[in-house]
Chains A and B, each alone.
Chain A
Amino acid sequence: MRRIALVMLLVAGAALAEEIEVRDVALRSVEDGLALDADFAFELTPRLAEVVANGVPLYFSVEFELTRRRWYWFDETAAAQRLQLRLSYHALSRQYRLSTGALQQSFATLEEALNVLKRVRNWLVVDRSARLADADYDAALRMRLDTSLLPKPFQLSALTGRDLQLESPWKRFIVRPSR
């Protein structure tokens, strides 16, 4: 009974998760391969804002997948990339920081940091070395808050509550890479 209740809560939580909207996706052919530009639209829930303001880092991950349908076998995954963005607050300097890998930016306000976070530019998702066929590919993109990287106490809340959840559905579109 207890287990069933838990599962139902999980399902309900997933269904009611705060939505991130994927806007304006574009794949560009650049020198090194294919680069992705995308805009996302969302607001932090009050709880998430509180969490981040208290110094807990939030990890956002942007995931991209490029697959080709194969009728005779499982779909071929041509590329799968994941971009991790870390949003944190530095109390001493009263700055919000946004870091992607080695790159780090500081912002005086949360809005500024979020504005940068919502805009992904020039993300190299398909390397030149990947050999793409001249066919239609399914591309999928989403952004979500990675709750598994939250401290443990929040994880339990994230399991049962929706105010710590933030994710977009998969945005799918068809790409035909031209030579």
Chain B
Amino acid sequence: MKWLILIGAAVAAVGLVLLATASADTTMFARHYPLLLGLNAALAALLAALVAIQLVVLARRHRARVFGARLTLRLLARFAALAVVPGLIVYAVSVQFLTRSIESWFDVKVDAALEGGINLGQQVIEQMTQDLQAKANAMALELADRGPGQLAAQLERLRGQLGVEEVVLVTGSGRLVASAAQDVTKLVPELPAGQALRQARAKRGYTAVDAAVGRPLALRVLVPVDMPGEVRFLQLRQTVPSSFAQSAEAVEAAYRDYRELAISRDGLKRIYIVTLTFALLMALFVAVAVAATQSGLLAEPLANLAQATQAVARGDFTRRAPVTSRDELGVLTESFNSMTRQLEEARRGVESNQLALEAAKARLESILANLSAGVLVFDHSLELSISNHGAAAILGSELGAFAGQMRAHFAAQGAADWQLELQLKGTGKTLHARGARLPHTTGGGAVVVFDDITRLIQAQRATAWAEVARRLAHEIKNPLTPIQLSAERLEMKLGERLPREDAEMLKRATETIVNQVSALKAMVDDFRDYARLPAPQPARLDLNALVRQVLALYENSTVPIAKHLAEPLPPAWADGAQIRQVLHNLVQNAQDALENQAARGASPSIEVRTELAGDRIRLAVSDNGAGFPEELMARIFEPYVTTKPRGTGLGLAMVKKIVDEHHGAVTIENRPSRGASVSVLLPLAKAA
């Protein structure tokens, strides 16, 4: 575009110079004037098209709201105004001046003077012609009087007398009769033309001015000579004096030029106006085109800056505005670039900090989440702000109530750290909680860390019971055998010596002692079994088969036992002997529970069920007895906790111990209709 404008401007300048040269008074381009005019018009049109294209492009950019377009447009308007207004003023003044000055050439006085000069010349020529005619008439009279004879001599004499340059006598048909000339070198005289003869004959005289180009101005007079018998014609030729002729011709030329200018002044004005107009148009178009380019150049760095700013606003710091100039704009662009660089560095620092923080936070959160202990964090107004996964697992739905309790505790304890053990009302879990105030620098608040120590306590109890059982077994069982033996011996030795009645009484007492000792022994054995339960030897176990075997033993019992065994059931990973014990205990319990009910006439039933529960196997034994009392639920697996009138209370404790050692789980629930259900969850055998 820039080159196009430069070339256009250069060509326009050449065209204008040619047009101006042609418009000035040289003949060089005069013949090609229309061509030049057309050429310049085409050039002007071309430039106009160039400008129009630029303007259209600019307008489109402006409409598309390209940044910088408005500035370009404004700069263009200013530049264009700067160029157009003075141009128009100069143009108007020039045109006015031209037309005025052209008009002023045509002065009335000059006109009159030239007119007068021509008239003067005409009159002088007329005078000379009349003079010549008078001479011709006199000559003709004399020739007519003298008659023919010695014509040549007469002519020469008369010519000499009258001072005429050339005299010719011709016949009516124009044939030469005689001639005489001042210039003797001139042999052939000029004869009158036929038309001249005709006129001379008709009007009895003919005058003419010979004004052929390249020959001196001459006067010619033709008069008839009435000779006897025929009419002849006498022609007199006289050259106008050369000084007069020159002056007259000069006046004539000047007059002609003047008249030519005078009648063509409109055309002349038009030529100048057209030339001026072309000059104006081209100058304007070039100026506007250059203005458009220049304003584009000026606005370009700004547009670049704007684009870079938008990029920065979007968060792209990599964009650098190109520095195109060494002026203030260049400095500005440079500063912008360095600012962007600094911003980028700052943001990178912030980002790395943030990443580190996030990593630390994530680490902390993962630690909190993987902590089995529950953690509750309270803010400065003791509202719960964070609770971890462990807390939710331990507390379940009691989280809110527990948090309230803790809040109350914090309020009561003030700034001091504390720890306490408490039991949850709903699930009966025992918790050990430690509370601490957070330092004020981190915003205050408090944190509670608590553990579910229910199992720990249970384990402690179980260990204690095992110890008790072992002691009991050891300390109690030892004296039992001598007691039993002594009682039997007493009966044997004394039974025959005592009278019948006494013997009977002894026998009953001895029996009682033996029975009670046996019972005591059994009880001690139970305790020993519980205390000495061996570590399980797990293997792949077909639980359904085991259930069938065990239940076969109960086929004749008073209470019917229903089986709901899931088929196929994957093998469990368990010790068959111990699981058999578990099943016996559970079925026994159920039967014991139903024993009390039999009297009430309800139809007792027991149901044994096996099924796959997720990645474990469930073995459930249910009855429709009285169920477990709610207050015992939390401690039902402890030894000596029982609902039965008889029994050691070791059955469920044993079950619990076995299942725990199998890494299983036992749950007890009272069925909503009636009775209780005990579920044992056993792990699956690992795939072979």
Q: How far is the CA of A104 from the CA of B118 in the complex (A)?
A: 23
Contact A90-B211, Cβ < 8 Å, known A3-B44, A152-B33:
yes
Cβ-based interface call for A54 (8 A): yes
- Chain A residues, CB < 8 A from B211: 90, 92-93, 95, 97, 106
Report if B506 contacts A (CB, 8 A).
no
Within 8 A of B (CB), among A110-153: 148-149, 151-153
Q: Are B44 and A2 in contact (CB under 8 A)?
A: yes
Counting chain B CB atoms within 10 Å of each CB, the highest count among A54, A90, A156 belongs to A156
- A56, B260: Cβ atoms under 8 Å? yes
Contact with A along B248-282 (1 / 0, CB 8 A): 11011001110111111111101100100000000
Q: Give A172 Cβ to nearest chain B Cβ, in Å.
A: 27
A92: B residues at CB distance < 8 A: 118, 121-122, 125, 209, 211, 217, 248-249, 251-252
Specify the chain A residue showing the minimal Cβ separation from B266.
A157
A55 contacts B259, C-beta separation under 8 Å: yes
Q: CB-CB < 8 A to B248: which residues of A?
A: 92
| B residues near A90, Cβ cutoff 8 Å | 211, 252
Which chain A positions have C-beta within 8 A of B31?
A: 148-149
Q: Look across to chain B and name the residue whose beta carbon is closest to the beta carbon of A107.
A: B195
Which residues of A sit under 8 angstroms from B213, Cβ to Cβ? 99, 104
A1-50 contacts to B (CB < 8 Å): 2-3, 6, 50
For B122, what are the chain A residues with a Cβ–Cβ distance below 8 Å?
Answer: 92, 94
Which of B34, B208, B260 meets A55, CB within 8 Å? B260
B41 within 8 Å of A by Cβ? yes
Known: A3-B41, A55-B255, A92-B122. A154 touches B264 (CB 8 A): yes
Cβ of B17 to closest chain A Cβ, rounded Å: 16
Given A3-B45, A92-B248: A155 in contact with B259 (beta carbons within 8 A): no
> A55 with B271: in contact, given A3-B41, A91-B118 (CB under 8 Å)?
no
B residues 9-67 touching A (CB-CB < 8 Å) = 22-23, 30-31, 33-34, 37-38, 41-42, 44-45
Q: Which residue of A51, A54, A104, A106 has the most chain B CB atoms within 10 A of its CB atom? A: A54
Q: Which residue of A lies closest to B27 (CB)?
A: A152
Number of A residues contacting the other chain (C-beta, 8 Å)? 28
How far does the Cβ of A45 sit from chain B's closest Cβ, in whole Å? 13
Q: Is the CB of A159 within 8 A of B41?
A: no
Q: Is the CB of A153 within 8 A of B118?
A: no
A152 cross-chain contacts in B, Cβ below 8 A? 22-23, 30, 33, 267, 271
Task: Contact check, B263 vs A54: say whether CB atoms are below 8 A apart.
Answer: yes
CB distance from B456 to the nearest CB of A (A): 104
- In angstroms, Cα B261 to Cα A56, docked, is 10
- The answer, yes or no, to whether B212 is at the interface (CB within 8 Å) is yes
The answer to whether residues A156 and B267 also contact, given A55-B260, A94-B122, A104-B213 and a CB cut-off of 8 A, is yes
Report the nearest B residue to A158, measured CB to CB.
Answer: B34
- Cα–Cα distance between A94 and B126 once the two chains are bound (Å): 11
Which residues of chain A come closer than 8 Å to B259, judged between CB atoms?
Answer: 54-56
Interface residues on B, range: 35 or more
Find out whether the CB atom of A153 lies under 8 angstroms from the CB atom of B264. Answer: yes
Q: Which residues of A contact B208 (CB under 8 A)?
A: 106
| Residues of the B chain whose Cβ atoms lie less than 8 Å from the Cβ of A148 | 31, 34
On whether the beta carbons of A55 and B267 are closer than 8 Å, the reply is: no
Cross-chain contact A157 with B252 (CB below 8 angstroms): no
Complex contacts, B249 vs chain A, CB 8 Å: 92
Residues of A near B42 (CB, < 8 A) are: 3
Q: What is the CA–CA distance of A157 and B261 in the complex, to the nearest angstrom?
A: 13
- Whole-angstrom CA separation of A104 from B44 in the bound complex: 46
Given the interface contacts A92-B248, A93-B209, A104-B213, does A151 sit within 8 Å of B125 by beta carbon? no
- State the CA gap A126–B125 with chains docked (Å): 45
- Closest Cβ of chain B to A89, distance in Å, is 8
Given contacts A91-B252, A94-B122, A104-B213, A156 and B37 within 8 Å (CB-CB): yes
Across the interface, which residues of A come within 8 angstroms of B30, CB to CB? 151-152, 155
Interface string of A74-96 (1 = CB under 8 A from B): 00000000000000001111110
What CA separation (Å) do A67 and B233 show in the bound complex?
Answer: 51
Q: Which residues of A contact B44 (CB under 8 A)?
A: 2-3
Q: How far is the CA of A54 from the CA of B270 in the complex (A)?
A: 20
B88-110 near A? 1/0 per residue, CB < 8 Å: 00000000000000000000000
Closest Cβ neighbor of A5 among chain B residues: B41
Nearest B residue to A161 via CB reads B267
Q: Are B274 and A156 in contact (CB under 8 A)?
A: yes
Give Cα A106 to B265, complex, Å.
Answer: 29
| Contact partners of B265 in chain A: CB under 8 A | 153
B262: nearest chain-A partner, CB-CB: A54
Q: Is the CB of A157 within 8 A of B267?
A: yes
CB of A50 within 8 A of CB of B263, answer: yes
* CA distance in complex: A106, B542 (Å): 152
Report whether A159 and B37 are in contact in the complex, using a CB–CB cutoff of 8 Å: yes
Q: When A3-B44, A50-B263 are in contact, do A156 and B118 touch as well, CB less than 8 Å? A: no
Over the window 156-174 of chain A, the binary record of Cβ atoms lying under 8 Å from chain B Cβ atoms (1 yes, 0 no) is 1101000000000000000
Min CB distance A44 to B, Å, is 14
* Closest residue of A by beta carbon distance from B274: A156
Which chain A positions have C-beta within 8 A of B34? 148, 155, 159
Measured CA separation A108–B208 after assembly (Å) = 9
Q: Which of B37, B260, B267 contacts A54 (CB 8 A)?
A: B260
Cβ-closest chain A residue relative to B24: A152
* Other-chain residue from A51, A106, A153 in contact with B268 (beta carbon distance below 8 A): A153
CB distance from A140 to the nearest CB of B (A): 24
Q: Is the CB of B22 within 8 A of A6?
A: no
* Residues in B neighbouring A154, C-beta threshold 8 A: 264, 267
Residue of B nearest to A108 (CB): B208
In this complex, what residue of A is CB-closest to B26?
Answer: A152
Of the candidates B22, B23, B268, the one having the most CB atoms from chain A within 10 angstroms of its own CB is: B268
Residues 304-339 of chain B: 1 if any A CB is under 8 Å from the residue's CB, otherwise 0?
000000000000000000000000000000000000
Tell me if B125 and A93 are in contact (CB < 8 A). yes
- How far, in angstroms, from A93 to B251 measured CA to CA in the complex? 13
Contacts of A155 on B, CB cut-off 8 Å? 30, 33-34, 267
Which residue of chain A is the closest to B277 with respect to CB atoms?
Answer: A2
Specify which chain B residues have a CB less than 8 angstroms from the CB of A97 in the assembled complex: 211
When chains A and B are docked, how far (Å) is the Cα of A126 from the Cα of B213? 30
Given that A91-B252, A155-B34 are known contacts, is A6 also in contact with B263, CB under 8 Å in the complex? Answer: no
CB distance from B251 to the nearest CB of A (A): 8
Q: For the complex, what is the distance from the CA of A99 to the CA of B212, rounded to whole Å? A: 10
| B42, B211, B270, B274 pick with most chain A CB within 10 angstroms | B211
Q: Contacts A2-B44, A92-B121: A151 and B22 contacting too (C-beta < 8 A)?
A: no
Could you tell me the distance in whole angstroms from the C-beta of B686 to the nearest C-beta in chain A? 97
Q: Which residues of A contact B118 (CB under 8 A)?
A: 91-92
Within the complex, the shortest CB–CB distance from B671 to chain A, in Å, comes to 104
**A51–B263 CB distance below 8 A:** yes
How many Å lie between the Cα of A91 and that of B252 in the bound state? 7
B264 and A95 contact, CB distance less than 8 A: no
5 contacts between A and B (CB under 8 A): A54-B260, A92-B209, A106-B210, A151-B264, A159-B37
Given contacts A50-B263, A56-B256, 12 further A-B contacts (CB under 8 A): A2-B41, A3-B41, A90-B252, A91-B256, A92-B211, A92-B251, A95-B209, A99-B213, A148-B34, A151-B264, A153-B261, A154-B264
Interface residues of B (CB under 8 A from A): 22-23, 30-31, 33-34, 37-38, 41-42, 44-45, 118, 121-122, 125, 208-213, 217, 248-249, 251-252, 255-257, 259-268, 270-271, 274
Q: Nearest 8 pairs between A and B by C-beta?
A: A153-B267, A55-B256, A153-B264, A93-B209, A54-B259, A153-B268, A93-B211, A3-B45
